[in-house]
Structure 1
């Protein structure tokens, strides 16, 4: 197991139920806050879980799509809220069948290599589902939405994607896990969004040609009905054995003031980009 997961303390902020009713911009403000507080030594290593209702999160590159307004209008008619995150990557789906996990570390004096951060999350997910005896690979799944070299898949079908956010000596390693529901149906929605937003135009940046059949949920791939809370229990158990102290917490003291600033920043950025 990657030694990055072995921490003296893990503070857990479980918003897998509470954040459902909040705007997803809240979560991106939270993760930036945690990067700053953990990176500065104000707070211990922190794990956060979060779930949001029907939201499409666009990457910065997506805002360059030539017919973006038409694509956003389509998604809104389908019942989705559309936001832009403050980091790279491409469009992903958030809904009540998708669990997002964030691990926040301090780089300290030695720094944390980018692949080490990705590998830590990959190893954690493999540990969480080791009892199913299924090989979980980390490689790009061509045809998936938001493809990357750390797509997690079983049998060639992607169920998760990992990203990183680095800020003020803090590293946030984030993963979205498709726990239940139809992975291919989610991919189909993103595929329609790109078809409407790009049409036949030539673009400087390459946008994925979505193939819905290469995406699935964990419940579909493991042949077992899994809930968000089932996966949360596995997550907490895997962290507990790698810490002298695992405890539940919330933002405190100066973190609350930091959050106000980071949240406001991403809200203003979205207003500027999306009007």
Structure 2
């Protein structure tokens, strides 16, 4: 067992499954939930937590996307295509969420010992490899040029990206978040983000270098594994994996006494998003 896998092997995991219940809610609620979990887990008020979440058609913009010179024209294009648009509070660029994309957050505490950024990424890589043993070491982590939201921990099989990882750190808690394109067409999602940059830039030169999207470098796990795998299948795999990793798995959402903290973080996320989406 690697050092990274040992960080996953703990006595008790809390599993919060919102892969079905959260679909019709705003993705802002998911970012607020992860902030709340960072606080609770970081301050050792809750066990380390794995949360699954799925949202209906949403484009989550990064801070730099919001600064596109023609963002005021790009957002209506996305909305016309049937997508909600929000700005996220963790790093990275635009990603697509829909019913075929499963997001997994692993929330750990740095209260007793620090977990550096590379370790956070490696823990998620180890987790995803355990989820998909039929792919195993074929799952590589390096930047896939031409993908949306490119980063050094893009996850790919045979050079085609199916997932990206980001991190959120708050109150000694760390939420390592992965979006897994499980079902559907990875290339079609990438075409939407290519259109976002085409309309948002319109040839204007900017200080920040936005990615030139090549839809053909992105795919879903169903496409890559040539299996009719669904989001629900992956959630079931995840529950089985947690039971292998821990002596005890406790399921459930926020307790009543934690809801006040969640409301605080939700209000903060919503207010910040309102300010970000005011386009001149």
TM-score range, shorter chain: over 0.9
Q: In the alignment, does 2:250 pair up with 1:247?
A: yes
Residue in 1 that maps onto 2:277 = 274
C-alpha separation between the residues in 2 aligned to 1:84 and 1:244? Answer: 38
Cα offset for 1:132? 4.3
Who is 1:138 aligned against? 141
SS in 2 for 1:137: strand
2:40 to 37, 41, 46: 37
Q: Which of 103, 106, 110 lines up with 1:103 in the alignment?
A: 106
Provide Cα deviations, 1:2-61, integer angstroms capped at 9, x if missing partner.
Answer: 211112110000000000111111100000000000000100001000000000000111
Indicate the residue corresponding to 2:261 in structure 1: 258
Aligned with 1:158: secondary structure? strand
**1:172: which partner in 2?**
175
Give the match for residue 48 of structure 1.
51
Tell me the distance in 2 between the aligned counterparts of 1:242 and 1:77: 44
Counterpart CA distance in 2 for 1:133 and 1:173 is: 20
In the aligned structure 1, how far is the partner of 2:136 from the partner of 2:99?
26
2:30 to 27, 30, 33: 27
Encode CA deviations 1:98-131: one digit per residue, 9 max, x unaligned: 0000000000232101111111110111111113
User: Contact between 1:45 and 1:104, CA under 8 Å: does it hold in 2?
Assistant: yes
| Deviation (angstroms), 1:133 | 5.4
Distance 1:54 1:73 in 2: 14
SS in 2 for 1:225: coil
3-state SS in 1 of match to 2:146: coil
CA distance in 2, matches of 1:162, 1:274: 24
Task: Provide the rounded CA distance (Å) in 1 between the counterparts of 2:155 and 2:250.
Answer: 28
Cross-structure match for 2:127: 124
TM-score (norm 2): 0.96
1:191-238 per-residue CA deviation (whole Å, 9 max, x = no partner) reads 001000011111111110000000000000000011111111111222
Alignment length (residue pairs):
275
Alpha-carbon offset, residue 254 of structure 1: 3.6
Matched, 1:4 2:7: yes
Is the CA contact 2:7–2:123 (under 8 Å) kept in the aligned structure 1?
A: yes
2:186 paired with 1:183: yes
Question: Residues 7 and 134 of structure 1: is their aligned pair in 2 closer, same or farther, counting only changes over 3 Å?
Answer: closer
State the Cα deviation string for residues 45-92 of structure 1 (Å, max 9, x = none): 010000000000001111111000101011011111000011221000
Superposed CA RMSD in Å reads 1.0
Residue ranges of structure 1 left out of the alignment (5+ in a row): none
| Structure 2 unpaired stretches of 5+ | none
Q: Secondary structure at the match of 1:267?
A: helix
Contact 1:52–1:95 under 8 Å retained in 2: yes
Q: Which residue of 2 aligns with 1:113?
A: 116
Q: Distance in 2 between matches of 1:79 and 1:145?
A: 19
State the 1:253 CA deviation. 4.0
Please name the residue that 2:60 is paired with.
Answer: 57
Greater Cα shift, 213-222 or 105-114: 105-114
